[in-house]
Amino acid sequence: MTDSRPVLTMTGISKSFPGVRALHDVNFRLFPGEVHALMGENGAGKSTLIKVLTGVYDTDAGATTLDGEPVSFTGPMQATAAGVSTVFQEVNLCTNLSVAENIFIGREPRVFGAVRWGEVRRRARALLARLDLDLDVSAPLGSYSLAIQQMVAIARAIDIKARVLILDEPTSSLDASEVAQLFRIMRQLRDEGIAILFVTHFLDQVYEISDRITVLRNGGLVGEYLTTELPQLSLVEKMIGKELDVLEGIEEHSRRDLATLEEGTPLVAVSGFGRAGAVEPFSLTIHAGEVVGLAGLLGSGRTEVARLLFGADRTDGGQVAIDGAASSLRTPAQAIDHGVGFCSENRRAEGIVADLSVRENMILAMQAARGWLRPIPRRRQDELVDKYVKALNIRPADPEVPVRNLSGGNQQKVLLARWLITEPRLLILDEPTRGIDIGAKTEIQRLVTQLSDGGMAVLFISAELEEVLRLSHKVAVMRDRQMVAQLANDESLDADRIMQTIASGSHREEADR
Amino acid sequence: MNDTMSRYRTMTGHRLFWPAAVLFVMLAANTIYRPGFLSIELKDGHLYGTPIDILRLSAPLILVALGMTLVISTGGIDLSVGSLCAISGAIACMYISKQPDQNSVGVVVTALAMALGVSLVLGAWNGVLVAVIGIQPIIATLILMVAGRGLAQLITEGQIITINSEPYRAIGLGHALTLPLAIFIALAAALLVAAFTRRTALGMIIESVGGNAMASRLAGIRSGRVIFLVYVISAACAAVAGFMMTANVSSADGNAAGLWVELDAILAVVIGGTSLAGGRFFLSGTIIGALIIQTLTTTVYAMDISPQTSLLFKAVVVIAVCLIQAPAFRARFSRRRRNAPPPATIADKPKEQVPA
């Protein structure tokens, strides 16, 4: 499978940001015709290594060779021209341009300086056909789902005669069939001799597709291993740096009885909430201390439900009662006044304010609720921020660093802290564990359990059924923009039954059983 | 060596370093050209000299630019400030000119209050167009930029209104503690805006709205109110600047007062380090930016650059200033310097150019 000569080597790479040592003396090599997984927790330096490799960042020290020749790229364009193509973690495309334009932007086929649009569209269609995608290449990219946008980004990357293809978290927004489709493409490209660098948090995917694994921890190199020689448990231990039975961390928590929880007045009871084109009218009650899971496929209306409950979108009709009294949830500010918090799944666009510091991002919601005339005293801010930086193990621990310098998982924790600081009564978490590593994932799951034990209601949205099952007292199932069932999470409920409900939508039989 | 190096980096990395350096170089160049440039003398209990003139003349621009900084920080822009200067000056002068006793302090205060009141209403108009109706800021404020000139003409009935009012004249030319009063007015406005934004949470909330409007809304910020407020603040700043401009010449000209000041103000904000895309804002940077622009204007006069070429000269300097400030531009030069001796680790092989 692998040649003896690496196509790419990186030796002694170091890189620091103000207040953060992102990489320290890291070595990395990549052989032609292999899928090489780069593993590590959030903030271990995976994204930084990729950005150094592709010239987005300068290095402080170290050397890179491509085909034995020293190279130093000054930007992704140059790296791409040399055969190193990247699909970055967050889709970096222009949603207002067409699919075809996105694939060829910056390297359009030209004649006498004029772009040959017919050729652009024809080649875009051919490329997408190779990926088994049937899209209207003239339609704006924004009209397609995030998953499709991801595939277009990959199409863009493989169009260039790439020898090295870097995929940073390509699967985090894809559903199972789309992942399978991606893996088929990856195998095809690998067999053509392309070296693929693959970053993911899904361990199963690593073992399904990769030939070799390099593990980073806290900006340093832990080691390089053949996938066949590294059992899953050892991999997790190497990533975390201590022997931990993290995978079992949550299981033993005593699950309180749903009937007991649902006694008394519900904290929030909505009926007939819905929005044309987004989600069919639904009814849902959430009690204090209850974790309600929201399961369903990508695009099944999970996020839309959350947005309606938070007032981010306005419902077309229906009623809401809070503590039994008729109320309304028409704007986020109003929802926050009622004690609702909402962590969006799209943390870059709808979550963090990249310019502001970790501290400012954390206190933002609390400050907004108080109004700008009543600033939170600086000492109180520092107390709160310090408490949550410690409690959530946010790295780097310097709250004055701009939040954009943090890794994705740590940004997610900052967002969580923003809401925990407001001490919400209902916290809506939309995919809080997507794209973050096992350690942080367990921490967040444990946190949800603790919060609900403390009386907070949680609406937990996740594509991972195991996670939903582990945490929830009740699971609402979404299918084709409808809430098709609400199932009590007792012994009889398992992933298979949720899957069947998603597949068949036969909620009546399920609910009656 | 390393220590000096890192100290040098910290210093040049400070956001005020480059604007301050540019200002310093300009002053130094002027002093070399004309050694008496920086000299200040005390006459009749007042300080005189070119530096004092620069401070006094930059006061209106500083005022306008302060308001503009907040607007730009929200991701907006206010093109109407020049017209607002003309309107506020016109109203004040028109009212004073109609009074029997133009030197009465009461008359002047009434005039200022009236003009300020109208400006606030016009600022609120901008705010409503942007924050409530949702028109793009550049278009929304363009309306008042164009219509405002007409409004100012209407107020002055197309004439240049000349007044003879000592208290009003003092706003532009008066002195206090040996220094021009205008400097203190600008300073007070700067401190007021700074306190208003940094002692409250307003500054952070403005930056949050400008940095990521969607995320701010989901964090519960009622961004409409904040955006409305910054246009009102901007109008208030422009109104006071308008008083100064008309007081300097004791007359109100609806056509000429505050003409193009919005462009100078935007430039001052950008030189000061606030991004036109919104987000973080820097009031101290804006003030230095305004001083740079005024120094440049003074330089043009001081160096006897012919009127035909003075605008071109200004343009060249402004381009240079902007380039020096751009990290990408500086990086291109520092990288070239750094790469001159090839790094030891790969010295055994000549550095290969990657085929583009």
Residues of B in contact with A373 (CB under 8 A): 200-202
**CB-neighbour burial class of residue B344 (10 A; exposed 0-12, middle 13-18, buried 19+):** exposed
Cβ <8 Å between A82 and B202? no
Which residues have C-beta within 8 Å of that of residue A388, sequence separation ≥ 6? A362, A394, A417, A420, A421
Torsions phi, psi of A213, nearest 5?
-130, 130
Phi-psi region of A301 (alpha: psi -120 to 50; beta: other; left: phi over 0): left
Residues of A in contact with B207 (CB under 8 A): 353, 355-356, 360
B128/B140 Cα distance (integer angstroms)? 9
The residue type at B318 = V
B266/B262 Cα distance (integer angstroms)? 6
Which residues have C-beta within 8 Å of that of residue A504, sequence separation ≥ 6? none
String of b and e for A64-91 (b: at least 16 CB within 10 Å)?
bbbeeebbbbeebebbbbbbbbbbbbbb
The residue type at A199 = V
B39/B24 Cα distance (integer angstroms)? 15
Phi-psi region of B279 (alpha: psi -120 to 50; beta: other; left: phi over 0): left
Mutation site for B-interface testing, chosen from A330, A355, A412, A414 by largest number of B Cβ within 10 Å: A355
Residues of A (393-422) whose Cβ lies below 8 Å from B: 418
Residue of chain B with shortest Cα separation from A58: B335
User: How close is the nearest chain A Cα to the Cα of B229, in Å?
Assistant: 12
Whether the CA torsion A359, A362, A368, A371 is positive or negative: it is: negative
Is B336 near chain A, with CB under 8 Å? Answer: no
Question: Residue B184 sits in which domain range?
Answer: 49-326
Residues of A in contact with B228 (CB under 8 A): none
Residues of B in contact with A374 (CB under 8 A): 200-201
Mutation site for A-interface testing, chosen from B74, B218, B330 by largest number of A Cβ within 10 Å: B218
Q: Closest partner residue to A368 among B221, B345, B354, by Cβ?
A: B221
Residues of B in contact with A344 (CB under 8 A): 215, 218
Residues of A in contact with B216 (CB under 8 A): 353, 364, 368
Q: B170 by DSSP, 3-state: which?
A: helix
Phi-psi region of A170 (alpha: psi -120 to 50; beta: other; left: phi over 0): alpha
Residue B165 is assigned to a structural domain of this protein: yes
Residues of B (232-291) whose Cβ lies below 8 Å from A: 279-280
Query: What does R_g of chain B's alpha carbons equal in angstroms?
Result: 23
Compute how many other C-beta atoms are within 10 angstroms of the C-beta atom of residue A326: 8
Residues of B in contact with A371 (CB under 8 A): 201
Give A333-339's long-range contacts (Cβ < 8 A, gap of 24+).
Answer: A333/A368, A333/A369, A333/B220, A333/B221, A333/B222, A335/A309, A335/A310, A335/A311, A335/B220, A336/A365, A336/A368, A336/A369, A336/A422, A336/A424, A336/B220, A337/A369, A338/A425, A339/A423, A339/A424, A339/A425, A339/A426
pLDDT for res A68: 86
Q: Say if the ipTM goes beyond 0.90.
A: no
pLDDT for res A178: 76
Q: Closest partner residue to B205 among A355, A368, A418, by Cβ?
A: A368
**Contact at 8 Å (CB) between A140 and A119?**
no
Cα separation values, B268 from B57, B64, B275, B282, Å: 14, 10, 11, 11
Q: Write out the E strands in chain B.
A: 40-43, 46-49, 160-162, 175-176, 179-180, 251-253
Helices (H) and strands (E) in chain A, counts: 19, 22
Mutation site for B-interface testing, chosen from A164, A356, A422 by largest number of B Cβ within 10 Å: A356
Is the preceding omega at residue A396 within 30 degrees of 0, hence cis?
yes
- What's the pTM value of the predicted model, to 2 decimals? 0.75
pLDDT mean by block of 10 residues, chain A; 513 residues: 75 84 89 91 82 87 89 84 80 82 81 82 85 83 79 79 84 75 84 88 84 90 90 78 50 58 85 88 92 83 92 91 91 93 89 93 94 92 94 87 87 92 94 77 85 91 84 88 86 79 58 39
Q: Give residue B206's Cα distance to chain centre.
A: 18
Residue B281 is assigned to a structural domain of this protein: yes
Is A134 near chain B, with CB under 8 Å? Answer: no
The fold for domain A258-339+426-513 equals: Rossmann fold (3.40.50)
Name beta bridge partners: A61: A14
pLDDT tens-digit profile of B198-235?
999 999 999 999 999 999 999 999 999 999 999 999 99
Is A375 near chain B, with CB under 8 Å? Answer: yes
Helix ranges (H only) for B80-177 are 81-98, 105-127, 137-155, 166-173
Residue B349 is assigned to a structural domain of this protein: no
Is B352 near chain A, with CB under 8 Å? Answer: yes
Mean pLDDT estimate for chain A: 84
User: How close is the nearest chain B Cα to the Cα of A360, in Å?
Assistant: 8
Cβ <8 Å between B218 and A342? yes
Name beta bridge partners: A212: A36, A226
pLDDT for res A115: 79
Residues of A in contact with B14 (CB under 8 A): none
In chain B, how many domains are there?
1
Is B200 near chain A, with CB under 8 Å? Answer: yes
Residue of chain A with shortest Cα separation from B328: A74
Residue of chain A with shortest Cα separation from B195: A373
Q: Closest partner residue to B346 among A63, A342, A351, by Cβ?
A: A63
**CB-neighbour burial class of residue B60 (10 A; exposed 0-12, middle 13-18, buried 19+):** buried
User: How close is the nearest chain A Cα to the Cα of B149, in Å?
Assistant: 35
A480/B216 Cα distance (integer angstroms)? 30
Residue B173 is assigned to a structural domain of this protein: yes
Give the closest residue to B223 by CA, choosing from B80, B117, B76.
Answer: B76
pLDDT for res A508: 44
Delimiting residues of CATH 3.40.50.300 domain(s) in chain A: 8-245, 258-339+426-513
What CATH number corresponds to the domain at position B255?
1.10.3470
Is B15 near chain A, with CB under 8 Å? Answer: no
Q: Closest partner residue to B220 among A336, A356, A375, by Cβ?
A: A336
Q: Token digits for A415?
A: 């967002």
User: How close is the nearest chain A Cα to the Cα of B331, in Å?
Assistant: 10
Homologous superfamily of A8-245: P-loop containing nucleotide triphosphate hydrolases (3.40.50.300)
Is A349 near chain B, with CB under 8 Å? Answer: yes
Per-residue pLDDT of chain B in tens (356 residues, 90 and over written 9): 456 666 666 666 677 888 898 899 989 988 888 888 888 888 888 888 889 999 999 999 999 999 999 999 999 999 999 999 999 999 999 999 999 988 999 999 999 999 999 999 999 999 999 999 999 999 999 999 999 999 999 999 989 999 999 999 999 888 888 899 999 999 999 999 999 999 999 999 999 999 999 999 999 999 999 999 999 999 999 999 999 999 999 999 988 888 989 999 999 999 898 988 899 999 999 999 999 999 988 888 877 888 788 788 878 888 887 787 777 787 777 655 544 443 333 333 333 343 43
pLDDT for res B342: 39
Mutation site for A-interface testing, chosen from B204, B209, B217 by largest number of A Cβ within 10 Å: B204
Cβ <8 Å between B215 and A350? yes
Residues of A in contact with B354 (CB under 8 A): 71, 73, 78, 81-82
Residue B56 is assigned to a structural domain of this protein: yes
User: How close is the nearest chain B Cα to the Cα of A111, in Å?
Assistant: 19
A337/A340 Cα distance (integer angstroms)? 7
**Contact at 8 Å (CB) between A149 and A91?**
yes
Cβ <8 Å between A73 and B354? yes
Cβ <8 Å between B218 and A332? yes
Residues of A in contact with B221 (CB under 8 A): 333, 364, 368
